[in-house]
Structure 1
Amino acid sequence: MIHRGVILASVAVVALMGSGAVDAGARLDVPQDATPAPATVVDLLRQTPARPATPAPVESAPAGTPAPAAPVAVTPPPAVTVARVEDKAAPVVEPKPEPEPVVVSETLPKDDEPLVPARRQRRPVAVIQAIDKVTAETMRFEVEVGGQPVRFNNTLIFKVRACETSAPDELTDDAIAYVEVSLQPRGTLPGTDPRQIFRGWMFASSPAVNGLQHPVFDAWVVSCKA
């Protein structure tokens, strides 16, 4: 009997514990009701009734001077004279004299006087240089202006009509000669005229401009001499 009572008591305790656990789990899922938060110090101060303010003592106005029975004459203050300080005259700055323009005396030609270029100097002898491109024979020789013709390599005949040097007012120092070159091999039949292959001005400074250009011979002027 005792053992049976103990067993029943144990079963009852276990049943109560199980029902409590189920009840606690079910309560966790149900929303709780909101409860007011505990009052803070600020709320307590607000709830405390304010003490009535003590009225400030009222001061009595000071006794004023009684108004005069008769009007009092007021004397105006003396007029103040303000002395005006005249501005000092500004110093007069005299302008500096401008320098006089420097006049450079130049001898300029008059409008009615045309500029006359200097004349070239004529020379009586021309110096010619010729080359045979087949035999590579080259020679520098003199030809008298208007004088006897000169033969080169038994084939070319040179005649000079004029030979001049540059004037002092020209930019380039040059020698210019008017040359006539004819082709007549030595041993040609009598009465056969030479065949002219060049005629014109030759320039010593630019031999390639107007020199003798032949398949076999080249020639150009070198200088003019007295």
Structure 2
Amino acid sequence: MNRKGAILGSVTALTLLVSGVVVASSLSDLPQDAQPAQSPTADLNRQPTPAPALTPPPPERPVPQEPAPEAEPAPARPIAITPPAPVIIVAEEPEKNDDEDSEEAEAPVAASTEPAPPPGRRQRRRVAIVEAVDKITAERMRFEVEVGGRPVRFQKTLIFTARACEVSASDEVVQDSIAYLEVDIQPRGVLQPSGPRQIFRGWMFASAPAVNALEHPIYDAWVVGCRA
């Protein structure tokens, strides 16, 4: 019985020893927490800095002193100071003649009686120059439309009719060409009982096409100028 107990105790001790070795090896394989590294200059910074040697201040030089100027004695009685009298300069007005007064009085009357020049008239032209573009195919064309003449078709769809074309007068600030156009849409080769449909009517300005432009998802058109 004692022999079995001794064997059992030795086996138990051996088992505990082996398990302790396994636990120690497993703990050694786990990562450890990072620690801040010691800087090699930290020890140097901790060393006490020797105090600088004291330099004796230079000896002070005596400041030269100038003697005070001798002042004159004050008078026994105060002296009265009289300011000079101001000088007044009177500007002389030039004499006017009676003839000059009469001419100045008659000048505004003469200016008011002159009639204003009549405003200039715009000159009418016979042909309107129009430029149109297809925004899908990027086809662009500049063509002429006769005022009061036959309509002009663009891309077999748009029909342009010119009612008037004028150029600005000589006294106007902006020199421009203005045309009154009517634009209809009617695809060729398609039977439509209602006829063409008008999509624009009004004045177009060559200097500012965006003022009164043709609004259409496919086509853009504007006036370029007028020709006799």
TM-score by length of 1: 0.52
User: Is structure 2 residue 131 aligned with structure 1 residue 156?
Assistant: no
User: Shift of residue 115 of structure 1?
Assistant: 5.8
| Equivalent residue, structure 2, for 1:224 | 226
User: Shift of residue 188 of structure 1?
Assistant: 2.4
2:199 to 173, 197, 200: 197
User: Shift of residue 105 of structure 1?
Assistant: 10
1:139 to 130, 138, 141: 141
- Aligned residue pairs total 133
User: Shift of residue 133 of structure 1?
Assistant: 0.2
User: Is structure 2 residue 117 aligned with structure 1 residue 123?
Assistant: no
- After superposition, residues 3-82 of structure 1 pair within 5 angstroms as none
User: Is structure 2 residue 179 aligned with structure 1 residue 214?
Assistant: no
User: Shift of residue 149 of structure 1?
Assistant: 0.4
The share of aligned pairs that are identical, in percent, is 59
- Structure 1, unmatched stretches of 5+, are 1-92
User: Shift of residue 118 of structure 1?
Assistant: 1.3
TM-score by length of 2: 0.51
User: Shift of residue 116 of structure 1?
Assistant: 3.3
Q: Matched residues in 2 for 1:108 and 1:181: separation?
A: 51
Q: CA, structure 1 residues 181+95, in 2 after alignment: closer, same or farther (shift >3 Å)?
A: closer
User: Shift of residue 189 of structure 1?
Assistant: 2.0
Q: Matched residues in 2 for 1:185 and 1:107: separation?
A: 66
Determine helix, strand or coil for the equivalent of 2:202: strand
Q: Matched residues in 2 for 1:189 and 1:154: separation?
A: 14
Determine helix, strand or coil for the equivalent of 1:212: coil
Query: Which deviations, in whole Å up to 9, do the C-alpha atoms of 1:114-171 show, x marking residues without a partner?
Result: 7632110000000000000000001110000000100001110000000000011111
- The one-letter amino acid paired with 1:199 is R
- The one-letter amino acid paired with 1:131 is V
Q: Matched residues in 2 for 1:95 and 1:105: separation?
A: 24
What's the RMSD between the two structures over aligned residues? 3.1
| Equivalent residue, structure 2, for 1:73 | none
Determine helix, strand or coil for the equivalent of 1:213: coil
Q: Matched residues in 1 for 2:127 and 2:195: separation?
A: 26
| Equivalent residue, structure 2, for 1:178 | 180
- Structure 2, unmatched stretches of 5+, are 1-90
Q: CA, structure 1 residues 215+190, in 2 after alignment: closer, same or farther (shift >3 Å)?
A: closer
Q: CA, structure 1 residues 107+159, in 2 after alignment: closer, same or farther (shift >3 Å)?
A: farther
Q: Matched residues in 2 for 1:130 and 1:123: separation?
A: 20
- The one-letter amino acid paired with 2:209 is P
Query: Which deviations, in whole Å up to 9, do the C-alpha atoms of 1:65-109 show, x marking residues without a partner?
Result: xxxxxxxxxxxxxxxxxxxxxxxxxxxx98654696997899856
